[in-house]
Amino acid sequence: MRSIVLSAALALLAGCGSTPAHPPAELTEIQPTVTLKVLWQGSVGSAGKNSFFPQPLGNAIYAVGADGGVTGFEKASGRTTTSFDAGERVSGGVGTGGGLVLLGTPKGRVLAFDHEGKPLWQTQLSSEVLAPPEAQEGLVVVRTGDGRIHGLEAANGKSKWIYQRATPALTVRTHAGVVVRQGGVFAGFPGGRLVALALANGNIGWEAVVALPRGTTELERVADVTSLPVVDGAQVCAAAFQGRVACFDAFRGTLLWARDVSSVAGIGTDARYLYVTDDKNAVQALDKTSGAGIWRQDKLAGRNVSAPLALGRHVVVGDLEGYVHLLSREDGSFAARIETDGSAISAPPIALDATSFLVQTRSGGVFAITVQ
């Protein structure tokens, strides 16, 4: 394959790597309006250079380290419910669904286990699995590093369909997989494209342009969708590096609105706003129906800020030093801050319920945190 992945150079340019392009902004004292409290914490192996995050299955939360050690934690207490070893290194993180715990490996294998860690099946795919597999409606959907999306039968791992598209010569290495919703598979691609596939057979429903490459050099013309799209009712939204944030009709793919904001980390939504962490590590709120700017919090420059999680009246992000920042949904001001284990939170926070969420650090710390 002639594709060249600029994981280091573009990570520095975009502020998303382990070493920021500029010194991280110093955190100043804030006047908290609410309190963040750790409900429980656990530990799995180090994620290495991967962006791993926990996944729920029933009453448990599963997390994995790069060495393949998987731990299940009880949602309410953090008590360990199961612990097992996948038997090989993991690159795609943990995925769950349909009663399965799923892992992807650097050698292109998908490993399926039951909730107690019993091996069920494994399937060899075409290249490295860089994102957690998704399971829904009897299918496991997996994205591989060669630009393919695989639909596997959840019962036995046999291939049911494959979607493939050409990969540009220059791309940003990304750990973003796919979003499975409403019988569709939504995925962003290099070149600023967003694709909707039919879950049942992998047929393409529509393809839309989030951003068009522009500039004179190959580097300037990189406009990749490097984060997960967000499916929000009848619309689906995505962000592109050196491009735009755009929302489309989820069923037809027609453009609803677009705004020039470059992002590698990604986006989140609630009932009113779309939130995006831009490539300068500022968190922005946009009107969800029009894309109009609402506020911009720029005091976290150089801190490799994660994608935002909308949680009630607040927005949650993590940073390269393991801090969790809580922002006001109304104006982006700092509402609270809490420290974890000092290592980076590069993956998006995951909601537990209306007031609580999970983060996983690069060192393997798993923290359940609540807003009080």
For residue 141, the domain's CATH number is: 2.40.128.630
pTM to 2 decimal places:
0.91
Domain of 107?
52-174
Q: Which residue has the tokens 């530990």?
A: 43
Report whether 177 contacts 143 (CB < 8 A). yes
Q: Return the structure tokens found at 116.
A: 């107690």
Contacts of 220 (CB under 8 A, 6+ apart): 214, 242
Distances (CA, A) of 234 to 71, 211, 288: 36, 21, 12
- Structural domain includes residue 310: no
Query: pLDDT, tens digit, for every residue of 159-175?
Result: 999 999 877 665 556 66
Query: pLDDT, tens digit, for every residue of 308-345?
Result: 999 999 999 999 999 999 999 999 999 999 999 999 99
- Structural domain includes residue 213: no
- Structural domain includes residue 111: yes
- Structural domain includes residue 280: no
Strand partners, 188: 194
Q: What is the mean pLDDT of the chain?
A: 90
Report whether 132 contacts 177 (CB < 8 A). yes
Task: Please state the domain count of the chain.
Answer: 1
Strand partners, 162: 150
Q: Given a cut of 50, is residue 78 above it in pLDDT?
A: yes
Q: Given a cut of 80, is residue 14 above it in pLDDT?
A: no
pLDDT at 176: 73
